[in-house]
Structure formats: C-alpha cells, structure tokens
Amino acid sequence: MRTKKATLNAGVAIITYILAFIPVFITRKVFLDSLGVELLGLSSLYTNIIGYLSIVEMGIGTAIIFSLYKPFAENDMVRVKGYLNFYKNFYKTTGVIVLILGFLILPFIQIFIKDNINITEVRLYFILFLINTVITYFFSYKLCILNVAQEGYKLSIATTLSKIIIAILQIIFLKLYANFYIYIFIQIAINLLYYLFMDIYINKKFEFINKVKGEINRKEKTKLIKNIKALFLHKIGGVVVLGTDSIVISSFVNLDAVAKFNSYNMVIAAVQGLMTNAMSAITPSIGNLLTEDNRETAYKVHKRLFFISFWITSFIVISLSNTLTVFVNLWLGESQILAQFTVALILINLYFQMMRSSVESFKEGGGIYHQDRYAPIAEAIINLITSIILVKLIGLPGVFLGTLISNITVIFWVKPK
C-alpha cells in the first residue's frame, strides 16, 4: 500500500508539474514583450527578497510534518490536532512578523536596485508581492495533513489547477492592458480562492480537525522545538544560498542581468522540479517507513534512491549543457542569452544541488536536522562573501563561482552520499 501511494503521489506530482509549467513559460514570454526586461528582473528580485523574510518561518512546516507521521499512523487524532494547532498559531504569528519586516525594509528597497527606476512604483509593487506571500501564512497550515496522509497527489492537482488559472488570466490581461498591478492582483485573488477551496475540502475530508480539541505533551513540544531550532539554521542557509544570487546581481550588475539569470533558472527549475516533486511525493512514505524502525530496509531504499538520483541528475545536467541556451534563444530571443562560462557554472551548481535530493528526502522523512545544523550557515556565509568579492572582480560569473565554492567547501564534505 505504501509503495502504491508513493508511486501515485510521485506520478501525479510529475504530470501536474509539467502541466503547470507550460502556461508559466508562455506567461514569461508575454510579460517580457508587454512590460519589458526591467519589470521582469524586478519581479524576480522581489521573489528573492521576500524569500529572505521567510527565514522567520524557521522551517516549522518540515518539523510539523515529520512530527505528524507517527500519531497519524497510530490514528491518534488528538495529538495530530495538537500539532496542527501549534502550526496554526506559529504560522499566523509568522505572517504578522513577515508583514512588519516587509514594511520596515520598504523605505530602503532601492538599495537593492542599481538601475534608475520610479521609487514610488517600486515600493507599491513590493507591497503587493508582500501581501501575496503573507496570505500563505494565514491559510496554508492545514495543507500538510494531505501529505502526511500520503494523499499529496490531491494537493498537486489543486495547486496545478490554480497555477494554470493564474497563468491564463495573466496572459489575457497582459495582452489587453500590459499592467503590472493587474498581473499581481490576479495572483493574490486566485491564491485566496485556492486556500478557501482547500480549507473547505480538508475540513470535510478530515472531520476530526473541527471536532477534536487537540493536545501535545511537554516532551513532544520540547522535541518539536529542538527540531525547529535546527531547521532554522537550515532555513537560513537555504534562503541565503538560493536567494543571494538575484540580490547580488541586482545590487552589483543590473535588473537586466537578473532577468536573464532567472529566465535560465526558470528552465532549470522546471526540469529540476520534476525530480524534486517526485522526491517530495515519496518523502511521506519514507517517513512512514522510518517509523517502523527497520534500518536495513530503510538503508536499501536509500541506496536505490541515491543510485536513481545519480543517473537522473547526470542525464539532466548533460542534456541542459547542450540545449539550455538554444531553448532560451528560441523562447525569449538572443538578447536574453548568458555567456557560455556563466551557464557552465550554473549547471555545475545544479549538479551538486540535485545530487543532494535523495539524502534530503531521508533527512526530512526521518526528522534528521540537528546533526548537521551548522553546515548550511557555513555554506551561506561562504557563498555570500565569495559571491560579492568575485562579482566585483569578474562580473556576473563571479556570483555563481561563489556558490560553487560554497558547495565544494561545505556540502561536498557534509553530504557526499
């Protein structure tokens, strides 16, 4: 049963991911033609800045999901509801903090933008991006129960439908009005409807959520907080490493370079996401397997996943090295092409990142966060410092060379297999 659910979740996750990305690619092309490269770069920059604010979330979502596996498997809905209540309260507090932090950095937002651009509009755009993000913290806490129940495929389908609707509406209104405000408003409105629909569905599917009071004991809270503290360090490292590039490029190069990089990154993310979604889909099954405390079986599954990851990663990186620039040229035009050396550095970093996926799935499924909690901090510091130094020395390639150095010096040694 566990294998069937894992296969179903992985299969649906991959199919829905592909379906969701097709209209998104079209939207980016229409956006570039309608609003220009500066706003395209600005949009990417804001996504990364708000990603930094998400550090406040501290990785509690991952910790809660891990904590839910055992009580859900034991049908202990009092504890399940207790964890959900903790998650709900924490996420609402996080949403308020992110909103406050967003408004605090608003007067200084132009520091991250080297280009000359209308400051008033820049700030209004940022407020809308901020609102769209904060919505998530107030309405998304119940979604984790579908993953814990190994029904993540339902979440994949609903999420994909919302993304397709957003993309279609954005394409239509960009063609009609070419207005960035409308573009963002569409995303906010559909996201609200999506969370409302999912809330109604989950309440109906899991009736205990509204019937059971919910409670977790002191020992469980202590263990949960310990995991959250360790995950917070992982969260900081992940956000800095993944979010640094666009901010450094915008601060030291320009928004045009940000747009080019994110166009390449979008193609890479689309391909990488197939593997990420597959791994995420089977993580609940891994978590379920690890609750049985059968180390020999778990290790066999890990070795198989790592072997599969190696072949898939190698195939993807080699394929992209031959086709990525050609595709971007056909998709967005010659003006959006990056230098060959820069692309090579991006793909080498991709290889390191993807080879970590099977290990990360087992870490997440097993709640193994504390042992290597300082590694992502070291990775983030090295990445930020080397990227800033090298971008000043050699320009755009220096940003990705800095990321590569952080990969080799930290993660290569901490998570080699």
Return d(Cα 195, Cα 201) in angstroms, integer.
10
Q: 243 near 52, Cβ under 8 Å?
A: yes
**Whether 34 and 116 share a structural domain:** yes
For residues 67 and 129, membership in a common domain is answered with yes
User: Do 180 and 41 form a contact (C-beta atoms < 8 A)?
Assistant: no
| Domain identity same for 41 and 116 | yes
Residue 240 lies in a domain: no
86 and 132 in a single domain? The answer is yes
DSSP string over 225-264: HHHHHHHHHHHHHHHHHHHHHHHHHHHHT-HHHHHHHHHH
Residue 115 included in any domain: yes
Return the pLDDT at 416. 47
Whether 310 is in a domain gets the answer yes
What is Dmax (Cα atoms) for the chain? 61
Structure confidence by residue, pLDDT tens digits, 224-268: 777 777 667 666 766 666 677 888 998 898 889 999 998 998 888
Q: Note the pLDDT tens digit of each residue in 151-167.
A: 778 888 898 899 999 99
| The pLDDT value given to residue 87 | 84
- Which pLDDT score is estimated for 146? 85
> pLDDT under 50 in the chain at which residues?
416-417
For residues 65 and 190, membership in a common domain is answered with yes
Q: How many domains does the chain have?
A: 2
Is residue 60 a contact partner of residue 279, using CB atoms and an 8 Å limit? no
Q: Is 18 helix (H, G, I), strand (E, B) or coil?
A: helix
> 107 is in which domain, residue-wise?
1-216
**What 3-state DSSP class applies to 207?**
coil
Mark whether 267 and 169 lie in a shared domain.
no
CA distances from 165 to 19, 104, 132, 179, 357 (A): 12, 33, 16, 18, 30
Alpha helix segments (H runs only) across 291-374: 295-332, 340-355, 357-366
Distance separating the N- and C-terminal Cα atoms of the chain: 28
Structure token pair of residue 302: 């890990």
Q: Is residue 409 part of a domain?
A: no
248 located within any domain: no
What are 19's two structure tokens?
């379906």
Q: What is the pTM of this model?
A: 0.80
Q: Are 29 and 149 in a shared domain?
A: yes
Q: What is the dihedral of CA 396, 401, 402, 408, to 10 degrees?
A: 170
Same structural domain, 69 and 203: yes
Predicted confidence at residue 417, as pLDDT, reads 44
Boundary of a domain, candidates 369, 389, 411: 369
Whether 312 is covered by a domain: the verdict is yes
The 10 Å CB-count burial string (b at 16+, else e) for 385-401 is ebbbebbeeeebbbbbb
Assigned token pair, 368: 């193994």
CA 372 to chain CA centroid, nearest Å = 21
